[in-house]
Amino acid sequence: MGNTEKFEMIANKYDTPERIQIAKVSSDAISNYLMDTKSKNAIDFGCGTGLVGMNMLNEFNSILFLDTSQNMVNQMNQKITDFNIQNVDTLCFDIEKESLSDIHVQADYIFMAQVLLHIYDVELVLSRLFDVLNEGGHLLIVDFIKNEKIVSDIVHNGFNPEELAATMTKIGYRDIQFKTFYTGNKIFMGQDASMFILDSKKGHR
């Protein structure tokens, strides 16, 4: 996955007040889409230091915190130890290089907050996540609305949710809905930006 080396370097100082606040609004937005999930298993995909998933430990039976950066996973492992968290696992894994179905990971819910930005081959990753979801499972995406002011060779400049939904429909996702839920000052590469949440369900391929 893109930018792993950068995240390896900043892992131990990643939890800034700004990131913690954005994670809170993201997890609140995700929680609005959860129904009867207490017995369900989830993956916090591209979890970083677990800021989003940590807010949802009580929402699920278990959460797998997954990231490509071993240092980020180490930070999450430290939190698990410090807070004696029971219902979680961690995994360092790069889904752009290998398929999760090879290691028999399945989930009812997958959520990813500000992760798609860093993914080079969006369609490949969304397709591999589709394979990991149980029938009727949900993929929830939180990310930035496309912003033409941002020019970067390391991240996407956000996404058009309609175009993203079209790609996902082609893969097999159904019942896709999305909305803008947050706008903030200088929250995306120094630019003001809006964030959307997209909910989708695994239908039959």
Using one digit for the tens of pLDDT, what is the confidence trace for 147-202? 998 888 889 999 999 999 999 999 999 999 999 999 999 999 999 999 999 999 99
Mean pLDDT for 5-31 is: 91
Q: Tell me how many domains the chain contains.
A: 1
In this structure, what CATH number is given to the domain that contains residue 156?
3.40.50.150
Q: What pLDDT does residue 204 have? A: 65
Mean pLDDT for 118-130 is: 95
CA distance 188 to 25: 15
CA distance 205 to 68: 28
Domain hosting 53: range is 4-33+40-202
Q: What pLDDT does residue 30 have? A: 98
CA distances from 160 to 24, 74, 80, 88, 154 (A): 23, 33, 36, 33, 18
Q: What is the share, in percent, of the chain residues with pLDDT greater than 70?
A: 98
Q: Is the pLDDT of residue 205 over 60?
A: no
Q: Which two tokens stand for residue 199?
A: 């909910």
- Average pLDDT score over the chain: 93
Mean pLDDT for 95-112 is: 87
Q: What pLDDT does residue 93 have? A: 93
CA distance 101 to 105: 6
CA distance 186 to 174: 33
